Amino acid sequence: MTNNNVSNNDKDNDNEMTTNENRKLKKWQNFIWIIPIINGLMWPLNILIGYFIGIGYDLIDPSIPPPYVSDIASIGRLFAGYFSFIGHILIILFIITIIYLNHNRRYKNYSKRNHQALIVAILATIGTLIWINFRSNQQFIIHSIGICWMYLATSIYMFLMCFLCKKLYDYGQVESKPITMFISTILYVISSWTSVVFFIISAVQLPKFKHILHQHLRLYWPHYIDGYLWHILANICSWIMIFAYTIFIWSIGQRMRRFIRLQND
């Protein structure tokens, strides 16, 4: 009898410890959704801070719209600040991993698409790291490859996430329809690739194509030089792309919060 009582007490203690651990985990999970909200805000804020610092140091022409994000990041005095982008990128990968595990645990039917989304997200992260680490004023070709890599992989990932969220809605109406995600995805795809096309057109209109490699020209593009209009349009599209991606990340944060609420109910 004594042994049985001891055994039962041990089981009760184990169950109590497990319950406490689950409570701590749930308490921690309640705040996970805040991470993409903050990260989504820091992404454009970091660029804008760099832009205004560049104006203060007279390194950037204070024109509207601001220059390419890549050119702001490649300025020597500002480049150190842009290493914080790596932190943003790793946070995004962390968020994506959580979403992947959450989807896999709850909805086995879509594990294939979910797995594809994770792989594409990792590829997008690699492309973004190439974009950040190879500056446009030093390794322009590699930098451009990183941008196109990032745009392509991110576009595919965003569409896959829209598909998964729509299926989750159809599955049990556990989420609202991903209308905001879909609109931000369309905006991202159109603006990102349009900026690339407009950039190429502006470069072609220069006396020599290689002139586009000069960072000073891209930062202080005079209105009387051919290609100015296309250069401005490319700038506008690149900034639309940044804010469209921010909206997408915020939408992910909202969905993570709803997942957590469902788990706690």
Asked if the peptide bond before residue 222 counts as cis, ω within 30 degrees of 0, the response is no
* 82 pLDDT above the threshold of 70: no
Determine, yes or no, domain membership for 182: yes
Residue 104: half-sphere exposure toward Cβ, Cα within 13 Å: 12
Over the stretch 162-206, which tens digit does the pLDDT of each residue have?
Answer: 888 887 777 655 557 888 999 999 999 999 999 999 999 998 998
User: How much of the chain exceeds pLDDT 90, in percent?
Assistant: 14
Determine, yes or no, domain membership for 210: yes
Determine, yes or no, domain membership for 79: yes
* 37 pLDDT above the threshold of 80: no
Domain count, the chain: 1
The mean pLDDT value for 237-256 works out to 86
Tokens of 246: 């921010």
Q: Give the per-residue pLDDT at 182.
A: 93
Determine, yes or no, domain membership for 10: no
Determine, yes or no, domain membership for 197: yes
Instruction: Reduce the secondary structure of 57-79 to three states and give it as a string.
Output: CCCCCCCCCCCCHHHHHHCHHHH
Average pLDDT, whole number, for the chain? 74
By CB atoms closer than 10 A (0-12, 13-18, 19+), residue 11 is exposed
Determine, yes or no, domain membership for 18: no
Determine, yes or no, domain membership for 60: yes
* 28 pLDDT above the threshold of 90: no
Q: CA 227, CA 208: separation in Å to the nearest integer?
A: 12
The mean pLDDT value for 41-48 works out to 76
Q: What share of the chain is helix, strand, coil (3-state, %, to 5)?
A: 85, 0, 15
Determine, yes or no, domain membership for 4: no
Q: Which domain holds residue 126?
A: 31-264
| pTM of this prediction exceeds 0.85 | no
